[in-house]
Amino acid sequence: MSSTAAATSPFPLSTERAGRLKQALDGLDGDALLWVSGYVAGLAQAQRGALTASDPAVEASAPQRRLTVIYGSQTGNARRLAEALASRAEAAGLAVRLFRADAYPLRELKDERLLYLVVSTQGDGDPPEDSHGLVEFLAGRRAPSLKPLSFAVLGLGDSSYPKFCEVARRLDARLAELGATRLFPLGEADVDIDPVARPWLDRALTEASRSLRREPIAATVTPLRRATTPTGHSRDLPFAAEVLVNQRITGRDSDRDVRHIELSLDGSGLGYRPGDALGVWPENDPHLIARILAATGLDGETDVVVAGEHLALTEALRVRREITRVARPLVIEHARRHGGDGPGELAGNGEALRAWLPGHQVLDLLLQWPAAWTAQDLVDALPALTPRLYSIASSPAEAGTDVHLTVALARTGVDADLRIGAASGFLASRSETASARVFVESNDRFRLPTDGDRDILMIGPGTGVAPFRSFVQQRSADGANGRNWLLFGARRFRDDFLYQLEWQRALKRGSLHRIDLAFSRDRSERVYVQQRLIERGRDVFDWLEGGAHLYVCGAIAMGKDVHRSLVEIIARHGSRDLDDAEAYLRDLQAQGRYARDVY
């Protein structure tokens, strides 16, 4: 700093005042500090005459003159949409707060005047992991009257499921029941999100501007919870990561092909923490594309337009369109073109469609019920290709700038009728030195305890064990004193015990303190992790009572089974009824001691 600048910009606080300020701010987290900075900046502007008491910008900083955006997200889509809305509102000069559902202070709901909810639905009508508390609060008797509130809801889901956008529908109806005013109808976005989400976001911004701005705002209002724009590599600007290792880690006799894959993030600027996921942009199999072209009689060189960009049909199918999953809107459109009963009956019968979808891809629809398509119509009917998320199976403390994945090859059928998943097939086919487009998806709901003396209990059958490999590596590197207990399950000990040698070494050196195993096909009686959990119920309850953190990772159905087992354990060993046992687990979730990553 020059001498002139130093002379005209002296430190503005006395030692005493600086000490008092430091004491007042001590212990505040990042979000609270952002709020304080915005509040203080507003005071400074007011003193300088930039804002007056009658200025709409000042009114916008009061609770009734702000927009609150809450999102509930499992895979990141709802979060991204909510962040986009908050950023656009901020750029328009509106006061805006952005919250993940489980971070929103529910006591403030009664004071809100303008609220937007963006929430996904998982499985059979379940809320995302971060939204259980909000959904239960609104459904319960403690929910306040919301007559002063105006709101709108955007739901994300999959219309192939019977309870499409169920969580958004329930929230939308309940807010209205509590007296709130619906600004515009519920948005229900299917697998192809943009056709519904984009106009919903546009209208949301228009309505927010109309509600919060009586005239153009000259000053920029600092948001209470800043929505930031990502820099560097991200979902929309992925990094081409070199494949370092692609190794099958299931036995030759296993009916599952699970790969340990290592990629280099060197030079990307990307960092990750245990619990995060790696997003992978797949490229569709050229052989599958060739079969689709043959089934439709289309020329792969035909020019098509995707999001305003001209591409050859083959290229559009390779990197821009989803061809390994069938969505209900595609079945409906194909039925219209086919004209027969088959696909029409399938599209109109939810149960039949759900039974047909697993193991079938777009090619199967085209082969089973031939119909005429143009190249552009086919591209327009297919959903956009989306990235797949994989739990990261390494700690940067051990892997450095590399990142490890545990990937199960999704496949059904055999030989010529074999169907392979888009991303798992893409990764499994990557030779060393090839690359994959990747980004890091943060998962702040699935973190190790900050207190290294806390015990952790990890339940991860199959590839659900991936994040726990990173947990154990990180705890070992940190010198954490807490115990680590892993419950792992798979089909067969001999062929499917993922990372067996690593776990044995971890037990020997003391970085893993306990492991319990369940192999379902080694005996006539099938045993799964939830049974092992109940068998060890006394110890499980004692660990929880002692302050342990509990983690579950894997399929949604498994997560539900494990949850039921935990309720049974807590009821039995804690001498509680089932309702109290459920409340016990809800309290653990609220404390951040019960985290699930289910998919």
Question: What's the angle, vertex CA 334, arms to CA 329 and CA 335, rounded to 5?
Answer: 100
Residue 56 pLDDT: 36
Q: How far apart (Å, rounded) are the C-alpha atoms in residues 149 and 183? A: 10
Domains along the chain?
51-212 (3.40.50.360), 239-279+392-441 (2.40.30.10), 286-381 (1.20.990.10), 456-598 (3.40.50.80)
Q: Which tokens go with 336?
A: 């219209």
Q: Which tokens go with 178?
A: 């509590």
Indicate yes or no: pTM above 0.95: no
Q: Do 196 and 187 form a contact (C-beta atoms < 8 A)?
A: yes
Strand, helix or coil for residue 84: helix
N residues, the chain: 599
Q: Do 65 and 59 form a contact (C-beta atoms < 8 A)?
A: yes
Residue 64 pLDDT: 53
Residue 24 pLDDT: 52
Count of Cβ atoms closer than 10 Å to residue 437 Cβ: 17
Q: Which amino acid is at 526?
A: R
Q: Which tokens go with 465?
A: 């064990």
Task: Measure CA of the first residue to CA of the last residue in the chain; give whole Å.
Answer: 53
Phi first, then psi, for residue 445 (nearest 5°) are: -80, -10
Residue 205 pLDDT: 96
Q: Please list, in sequence order, all residues whose beta carbon lies within 8 angstroms of the beta carbon of residue 597, skipping any fewer than 6 positions away.
A: 129, 275, 391, 443, 445, 446, 464, 467, 551, 552, 553
Using CB atoms within 10 Å of the CB of residue 573, give its burial: 0 to 12 exposed, 13 to 18 middle, 19+ buried. middle
Read off the DSSP letter of residue 225.
Answer: S
Q: What parts of the chain have a pLDDT lower than 70?
A: 1-64, 214-231, 414-416
Count of Cβ atoms closer than 10 Å to residue 550 Cβ: 22
Half-sphere exposure of 519 (CA within 13 A, CB side): 12
Q: Do 548 and 455 form a contact (C-beta atoms < 8 A)?
A: yes
Please write the tens of the pLDDT for every residue from 26-57.
Answer: 544 444 444 444 444 444 433 433 333 333 33
Read off the DSSP letter of residue 4.
Answer: H
| Residue entry with tokens 């609770």 | 63
Q: Which tokens go with 159?
A: 């219309």
Q: Which amino acid is at 311?
A: L
Please write the tens of the pLDDT for every residue from 106-139.
Answer: 999 999 999 999 999 987 788 998 999 999 999 9
Residue 414 pLDDT: 61
Residue 32 pLDDT: 42
Helix (H) and strand (E) counts in the chain: 24, 21
Residue 355 pLDDT: 86
Among candidate residues 448, 532, 523, the one with its CA nearest the CA of residue 488: 532
Cα pseudo-dihedral 19, 23, 28, 31, rounded to 10: -40
